[in-house]
Homo-oligomer: A and B are copies of this chain.
Amino acid sequence: MTLLNDIAGRYPQAVSFAAGRPYEGFYDTSSLPRQLRAFEEHLAKEAGLSPDDVRRTFFQYGRTKGVIHELIARHLELDEALTVDTESIVVTTGAQEAMVLVLRALRRDTQDVVLAAAPAYVGFLGATRLVDMSVRPVREGQGGIDLDDLTVQIRRARQEGLRPRACYVVPDFANPSGATMSLEDRQRLVDLAEQEDILLLEDNPYAFFHGGSLRLPTLKALDRSRRVVYFGSFSKTAYAGARIGYVVADQPVTRDGFGAVLFADQLARLKSMLTLNTSTVAQAAIGGFLVENGCSMERATRRVAAVYRRNLGAVLDGLEERFGSRSGFRPANAVSWNSPSGGMFVVVTLPFVADDAALERSAAEFGVLWTPMHHFYGGAAGFHQIRLSFSVLTPEQITEGLDRLASFAATGPRLDP
């Protein structure tokens, strides 16, 4: 992604559909002291801590599994109808640290591999590289991960002498594809994990940014046999800078000298070697955010979800206007796109190669940036696809950006002499 940042830096006037950053319009530094105080009061009044213990919670080395686990459990109950053992929650330095911990725990040697839909979130691929764990790609369609191909890939890996330990899935509005799994597929996936004896690593950063339709249950809510390890993040729902995420890991595992413990305890032991505990100051800030919103992130994200919904509509309508069957764009239907029902991303397919060189040309000659999809396929596919991210744009910028994109698309591939 360094190359993409470099291009973005060289064309500051370009409209950028490349930045996947959350919307910034509601940031307010005066919220921090208020939320820290709200968490302090929560500790004193609700949790019944002494003044010394309150101060200790803010400043001293803390509980490895975190100090806002009870507030997180309340949020999961309220917003996801998920009842979890608070001891199965590990609060982490963003969901990214949670992924690293889980993969590090699952990877005993090079025979242990993990599966993921291709295209995949680059942060997950980065975590696998950090712990030297191989990823086996699984096909993805409009409805998310292809379950038949998942079975094929699991069995193929086993035939090669490998141990497929888990499959990484983003069931709602995946990054980068925007795909959402049907209820039927969610149920089938949970059953498949049980049959094939693998874990599911469910990542759920975008669920509240639905297009207004009924939300489907998480995999964790359908999980009857503790097959699902659930990653949560406050980066999109509160703010990313805090770096507060968590993992729910309620699987029973055996730990030498301790007998049966929760997978969360095994993760905590690894965390004690990695970051000791998640910043208490950052936990307190997010804890106060939760308290202020009665632990409902659905409620907390209402304003920003409306922004994303408006922008998603503007992008989809704008694409139809410029490239749809009645748009006059020639050749007709040469440009296609998916229609996610929520989230922060739309994928557009172009009739020519849209790689880093094409992006450079798009930026220099047309003033519009986007992300080449091949980066999410590890460079193995997606060469005609681009990801449009619209989270930080205004409707006016979207209009202007799509006009520029249409001009770029109309020029077709540049033929080098």
**Chain A residues engaging chain B, CB cutoff 8 angstroms:** 2, 21-22, 24, 27-29, 32-33, 36-37, 40, 52, 54-62, 93-94, 96-97, 100, 104, 123, 126-127, 129-130, 235, 239-244, 258, 270, 272-282, 285
Contact = CB atoms under 8 A, between A and B. Distances in A.
- Total identical chains: 2
A242 B36 CA distance: 13
Nearest to A26: B59
B40 A36 contact: no
User: Could you say which of A2, A239, A240, A282 has the most chain B C-beta atoms within 10 Å of its C-beta?
Assistant: A282
Contacts of A272: 126
21 contacts: A24-B56, A27-B60, A29-B36, A29-B55, A57-B241, A58-B241, A61-B240, A62-B241, A93-B97, A93-B278, A94-B275, A100-B273, A123-B276, A126-B272, A130-B270, A241-B277, A241-B281, A242-B280, A243-B279, A279-B281, A279-B282
A278 B270 CA distance: 18
Contact of A279 (B130, B242, B270): B242
A29 B54 contact: yes
A24 B54 CA distance: 12
A36 B27 contact: no
A291 to B, nearest CB: 15
Contacts of A240: 59-61
Contacts of A278: 93, 243
B52 A32 contact: no
A32 B127 CA distance: 33
B58 A276 contact: no
